[in-house]
Amino acid sequence: MPTMAEAHANLCSIYKDSCSALVEAFIKSYKQVLLLWPEFPEVTCNILHTLPCVCSWENHDKMFLEVERIIKRQINMSVLPSVQPFHAIAYPIGPLLALKISYVSNDFDNHPLPHLMGSVFGMHNREHVEVFYYALSPNNNTKWSQHIQFEAEHFVDVSAILQQGPWSVLVDLT
């Protein structure tokens, strides 16, 4: 449907994830979405992240300001921000918009996650952010899990809660 912003946004995701040959169609479709629904937060955040991948820097600074406005609005509304966590790391957003960081994993152990992310876990500036780690599996006390727990500001083993049943994930862990 040519006037349905959500349909165009889904088409954008297909183009973006398919292959680089569809980049022009992807950009055209994203622009169509923003014409139909200029306040579509996920699309604004996705296009900001994707356009630099094709060396398109047009309105880049203006788009950062728009994404920062979106994040502020979503935080004030207690809505999960539309910006992807790993994308936000690369954005020049102020520390007031990134006060808490949470890592949730089943593998804070001898697994590729801590092998690849191990140095990142301890690099957060604790003056600007509060860092939480939620372990979905029990700790087996390897050097990897010990290292993460040593660097963790807040490390919470929620594996026992999860073993109680699927309803337990609704518990507020903050």
**Quick one: pLDDT at residue 169?**
45
Q: Give the DSSP letter string of 50-87.
A: HGGGGT--TTHHHHHHHHHHHHHHHHHTT---SS-HHH
pTM as predicted: 0.52
Question: Which sign does the torsion angle of CA 94, 95, 99, 103 carry?
Answer: positive
pLDDT value, residue 49: 78
Same-domain check for residues 30 and 78: yes
- Per-residue pLDDT at 141: 84
Per-residue pLDDT of the chain (174 residues; tens, 9 = 90+): 567 777 777 777 776 666 666 677 777 787 888 888 888 888 888 888 777 777 778 888 888 888 888 888 887 887 777 777 667 767 777 666 667 778 888 888 888 877 887 777 778 888 877 888 888 888 888 888 888 888 888 888 888 776 665 544 444 444
Burial of 80-107, coded b for 16+ CB within 10 Å and e otherwise, reads ebbbeeeebeebebeeebbeebebebee
Confidence (pLDDT) at 95: 62
CATH number for position 71? 1.25.40.10
pLDDT in tens, 90-140: 777 766 666 777 888 888 888 887 788 777 777 888 887 788 888 888 888
| Total of domains in the chain | 2
Residues 129 and 73 in one domain: no
Residue 115 lies in a domain: yes
Residue type, 98: A
In a domain, 93, yes or no: no
The whole-number pLDDT of residue 97 equals 65
Range of the domain at 139: 99-170
The predicted pLDDT at position 127 comes to: 80
Domain annotation covers residue 94? no
Answer yes or no: do 124 and 57 share one domain. Answer: no
